[in-house]
């Protein structure tokens, strides 16, 4: 269920007329479709917040190599701890996601779309295949889509195999090609050299759903809410110590405090915004805005009540990263293990204040020197918990 908590505009995906976005797009030039997505400044809903119009422009301009084709990939890996909004979108609004992918294909000139589906969501596959089959019957996929001569596009589903790092777009592409899911060096970027070395757009499930809504309702409609640099609505997966966990829709720019009030988590001690790789926000900073320019997130919000042991929280996250690091680069492979070891030492009362400082330095090195977003962001939770819960952490250090 999507709980709608937008005060200004009571919008939900349910209220958008199906296929009206695609109809509009098919009557437009490719450049105008991308122009509309750029005009509302839609930013990717998968976490990094990259402008979707810019990504699509680059892919549209990129040249196909040796008789290949361009690709549109929907990132449905949803592996970030605390995130479950894409599962809800795919369960209830798969047609909107496929519509957005078809609009993307038209915009960049792709002929094949692939949904990279988290392995645990295999139970959703029959439903998704059914929606795709109906779209083929209705000529919303296949050849001459929507009566537009020459517009050929179809969508396949590819199951992931259960690795968090495969949500990173270049590891995802490696996995699609049948290789180990290890991130690639960049550049070249997927928009130029992606799946099968061809131009590829990778976008999050929610991003595609909003694309369909924007083409249906207009760029002005979308950018009328949110902040100047974080426009529109966002879905949030809220879990933890609150009265009403669930998937919520809010305009970007609301404060952490406003969100907590809606979900019944006013007595929270801290909120982890952005999942395990995000930041731990203490109560003194609940006035901060959830937006790409302040506290940014792909949608995961985990609430920690007054009784939570923040070192236990840090340990939980570090265990996750040690398990999920692909091991390709040393700062991440060794760094996460060192940070976990440090947290365990703190829990046993065997870690000195000086060693905590060294671990913070190690965290900085990992942020700077790791090859992909996993290692660059994995120290965030540890660093922010040490910074904001100094008394709780330093109170457990040893003299030596």
Ligand X SMILES: Cc1cc2nc3c(=O)[nH]c(=O)nc-3n(C[C@H](O)[C@H](O)[C@H](O)COP(=O)(O)O)c2cc1C
Which residues of the chain form contacts with ligand SF4 (CB under 6 A)?
165, 183, 325-329, 332-333, 370-372, 374-375
Taken in order 171, 94, 45, 123, the sign of the CA dihedral is: negative
Q: How far is the CB of 342 from ligand X (least distance, A)?
A: 22
Residue 47 in the binding site for ligand X (CB under 6 A) = yes
By beta-carbon proximity to ligand SF4, the closer residue of 107 and 318 is 318
Decide which of ligand SF4, ligand X, none touches 333; Cβ closer than 5 to 8 Å per partner kind.
ligand SF4
Q: How far is the CB of 170 from ligand SF4 (least distance, A)?
A: 9
CA dihedral 364, 366, 368, 370 (to 10 degrees): -170
Q: How far is the CB of 310 from ligand X (least distance, A)?
A: 23
Residue 203 in the binding site for ligand X (CB under 6 A) = yes
Say whether the peptide bond before residue 188 is cis (omega within 30 degrees of 0): yes
Decide which of ligand X, ligand SF4, none touches 24; Cβ closer than 5 to 8 Å per partner kind.
none
Q: How far is the CB of 332 from ligand SF4 (least distance, A)?
A: 3
Q: Give how many residues touch ligand X by CB under 6 A.
A: 23
CA dihedral 181, 186, 188, 189 (to 10 degrees): 70
Q: How far is Cα 251 from Cα 336, in angstroms, rounded to an integer? A: 34
Contact residue for ligand X among 21, 82, 104, 167 (CB under 6 A): 167
Residue 372 in the binding site for ligand X (CB under 6 A) = yes
Helix (H) or strand (E) holding 85: helix 85-108
Residue 204 in the binding site for ligand X (CB under 6 A) = yes
Q: How far is Cα 367 from Cα 384, in angstroms, rounded to an integer? A: 13
Residue 232 in the binding site for ligand X (CB under 6 A) = no
Q: Which two tokens stand for residue 320?
A: 């996750």
Q: How far is the CB of 183 from ligand SF4 (least distance, A)?
A: 4
Decide which of ligand X, ligand SF4, none touches 375; Cβ closer than 5 to 8 Å per partner kind.
ligand SF4
List, edge to edge, every strand of the sheet that includes 233-240: 2-4, 246-251, 233-240, 300-304, 270-273, 279-282
Contact residue for ligand X among 19, 95, 169, 241 (CB under 6 A): 169
Residue 240 in the binding site for ligand X (CB under 6 A) = no
By beta-carbon proximity to ligand X, the closer residue of 80 and 285 is 80
Neighbour tally for 65: CB within 10 Å: 12
Residue 45 in the binding site for ligand X (CB under 6 A) = yes
CA dihedral 155, 159, 164, 169 (to 10 degrees): -30
Q: Using alpha carbons only, what angle is made at residue 86 by residues 203 and 168, rounded to the nearest 5 degrees? A: 45
Q: What does the binding site for ligand X look like in residue numbers (CB under 6 A)?
A: 44-48, 50, 75, 77-80, 164-165, 167-169, 202-204, 207, 372-374
């Amino acid at each position: 269920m999507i709980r709608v908590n937008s005060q200004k505009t009571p919008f939900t995906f349910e209220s958008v007329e199906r296929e009206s976005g695609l109809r509009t797009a098919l009557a437009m030039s490719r450049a105008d479709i991308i122009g509309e997505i750029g005009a509302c400044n839609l930013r990717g809903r998968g976490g990094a917040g990259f402008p979707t119009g810019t990504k699509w422009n680059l892919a549209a301009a990129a040249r196909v190599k040796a008789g290949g084709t361009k690709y549109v990939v929907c990132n449905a890996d949803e592996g970030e701890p605390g995130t479950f909004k894409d599962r809800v979108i795919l369960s209830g609004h798969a047609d909107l996601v496929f519509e957005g992918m078809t609009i993307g294909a038209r915009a960049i000139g792709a002929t094949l779309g692939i949904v990279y589906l988290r392995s645990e969501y295999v139970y959703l596959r029959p439903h998704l295949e059914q929606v795709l089959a109906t779209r083929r019957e209705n000529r919303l996929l296949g050849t001459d889509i929507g009566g537009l001569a020459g517009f050929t596009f179809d969508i396949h589903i590819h199951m992931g195999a259960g690795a968090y790092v495969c949500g990173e777009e270049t590891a995802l592409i490696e996995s699609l090609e049948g290789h180990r899911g290890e991130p690639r060096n960049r550049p070249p970027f997927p928009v130029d050299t992606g799946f099968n070395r061809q131009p590829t757009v990778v976008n999050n499930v929610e991003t595609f759903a909003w694309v369909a809504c924007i083409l249906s309702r207009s760029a002005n409609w979308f950018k009328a809410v949110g902040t100047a640099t974080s426009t529109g609505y966002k879905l949030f997966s809220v879990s933890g110590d609150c009265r009403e966990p669930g998937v919520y829709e809010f305009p970007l720019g609301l404060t952490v405090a406003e969100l907590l009030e809606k979900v019944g988590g006013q007595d929270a001690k801290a909120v982890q915004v952005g999942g395990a790789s995000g930041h731990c926000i203490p109560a003194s900073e609940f006035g901060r805005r959830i937006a790409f320019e302040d506290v940014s997130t792909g949608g995961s919000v985990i609430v920690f009540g007054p009784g939570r042991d923040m070192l236990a929280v840090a340990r939980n996250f570090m265990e996750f990263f040690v398990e999920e690091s692909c091991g390709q680069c040393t700062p991440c492979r060794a760094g996460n293990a060192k940070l976990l070891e440090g947290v365990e030492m703190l829990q046993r009362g065997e870690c000195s204040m000086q060693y905590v400082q060294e671990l913070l330095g190690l965290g900085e090195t990992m942020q700077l020197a790791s090859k992909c977003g996993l290692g660059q962001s994995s120290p965030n939770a540890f660093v922010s918990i040490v910074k904001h819960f100094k008394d709780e952490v330093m109170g457990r250090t040893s003299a030596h």
